[in-house]
Amino acid sequence: MNKLVGKQSVRFENPPYIIGAASVAGEKEGNGAFGNYYDLVEKDPLFGQNTWEEAESKMQQLAAEKAMEKAGKTPEEIRYIVAGDLLGQLIATSFGIMKFNIPMFGVYGACSTMGESLGIGSMLLDGGFADCVMAMTSSHFASAEKQFRFPLAYGNQRPFCSTWTVTGSGAVVLASKEHVNMDKKEPRIQVTGVTTGTITDYGIKDSMNMGACMAPAAASCIVANLQDFGVKPDYYDKIITGDLGSVGQRILKDITKEYGYDIGKKYMDCGTEIYYNEAQDTNAGGSGCGCSAITLCGYILHKIRKGDWKRVLFVPTGALLSTVSFNEGHSVPGIAHGIILELEQKEMGEWHM
């Protein structure tokens, strides 16, 4: 079987199964639209730690532990962890997962990291290089503001097109078929394909409008997926981007339309929906690696397991923002990775809820 599909996609011969997923979120996220779906909502923004970075590390640790618990796996049984975050040199990840002593691939795709880690993790599994892999990411409002924006105490004004970095971490444990308990009568979700994104730059230099920076990359990835597989948007029950927000998602719909694809009816954006934007004062919506990660591990996987959606194209979106390149006058390029999630088809009928 040829696993290569079109220009930039792959289809799995033995699609990996999601055998455990966990989401850890902050209080604001807990009060948001998907608050009931998270495994843990923590009221202390410092997660009992001393610094914002330590807090984010703690979130990753908690998410990883919960995901392994739900998967019934110990750290020794996880062959690789593929993970990253927004902070310079991925410190939230390094210090968060160190104690598990799992062979590690650090990845950076800005807020597309959940897509990148799921993509690489799935390929390692289907390629026969692992029986069990964890894919994970996180973001924290305060560590991201410190890294990319202003000191919190400065109380800067936020334009309406700006988004609010989600405090949250999502972890997914993937396994090959041999390591899934097939006797268990439960709906199972597989990663059946991946479309790997390219860096896409429309020259946008407004770092407060990350949605606009990422929309071209999201469009490029979604169009590539549809072209590679030769399908129309309605092939999917849902096409879900990571964190374009209310501004970026409009740009995305316009660009995909120019390519002849009307994704409107099938489309959802985690960033636009994760908060009650008006009531929670989050302007254009949520963003950050954690945005798509906790929406996936909480809401999206729930909807697929329930059978409401049977095939989803999950497209975490990243803006490759750096204060250094930005202050040197460069644009903010974007990247997005598409992950095809499918409800296992066979023998499912009677025990679907």
Binding range to its own copies, per CB under 8 A, among 16-24, 127-135, 261-269, 339-347: 127-135
Sequence-distant (≥ 6) Cβ neighbours of residue 347 within 8 angstroms = none
Is 58 a binder of its own copies (CB under 8 A)? no
**243 is a contact residue toward its own copies (CB under 8 A):** no
CA 345 to chain centre: 24
Among the residues of 230-276, which ranges form H helices?
A: 245-258, 270-274
Q: Which range binds its own copies by CB under 8 A, 7-15, 29-37, 65-73, 166-174?
A: 7-15
User: Minimal distance in Å, beta carbon 8 to its own copies?
Assistant: 4
Among 165, 190, 196, 207, binds its own copies (CB under 8 A): 196
Shortest approach of its own copies to residue 102 CB, angstroms? 6
Short-list 87, 125, 79, 131, CA closest to 105: 79
**Residue 334: closest CA among 141, 158, 111:** 111
Residue 213 binds its own copies (CB under 8 A):
no
Distance of CA 248 to the CA centre of its chain: 16
Contact with its own copies (CB under 8 A): which of 27, 65, 69, 201?
201
Question: Using CB under 8 A, which residues numbered 325 to 344 contact its own copies?
Answer: 325, 328, 330, 333, 335
**From its phi and psi, is residue 269 left (phi > 0), alpha (psi between -120 and 50) or beta?**
beta
Q: Which stretch binds its own copies (CB under 8 A): 29-37, 194-202, 235-243, 245-253?
A: 194-202
Stretch that binds its own copies, among 34-42, 133-141, 292-300, 324-332 (CB under 8 A): 324-332
Interacting residue with its own copies among 44, 72, 74, 127 (CB under 8 A): 127
Contact 17, 305 (CB under 8 A): no
Q: Single out the residue of 44, 72, 129, 159 in contact with its own copies (rule: CB under 8 A).
A: 129
| Residue 107 interacts with its own copies (CB under 8 A): yes or no | yes
The Cα–Cα gap between 115 and 339 comes to 6
Q: Which two tokens stand for residue 130?
A: 């692992």
Question: Smallest Cα–Cα separation from 243: which of 203, 281, 212?
Answer: 212
Chain positions 132 to 151 lying near its own copies, rule: CB under 8 A, are 147
Instruction: Tell the smallest beta-carbon distance from residue 323 to its own copies (Å).
Output: 8
Region of residue 130 (phi > 0: left; psi between -120 and 50: alpha; otherwise: beta):
beta
In this complex, which beta carbon is closest to its own copies, that of residue 3 or of residue 311?
3
Please tell me whether residue 202 binds its own copies under the rule CB under 8 A.
no
Binding flag, residue 8, its own copies (CB under 8 A): yes
H/E element, 211: helix 210-229
List the one residue from 19, 21, 97, 289 that touches its own copies (CB under 8 A): 97
Which H, E and C letters describe 282-326, residue by residue?
CCCCEECHHHHHHHHHHHHHHHHHHCCCCEEEEECEEECCCHHHH
| Interface residues toward its own copies, by CB under 8 A | 2-4, 8, 10, 13, 50-51, 53-54, 79-80, 84, 86-91, 94-95, 97-98, 101-110, 116, 119-120, 123-124, 126-131, 147, 196-199, 201, 320-325, 328, 330, 333, 335
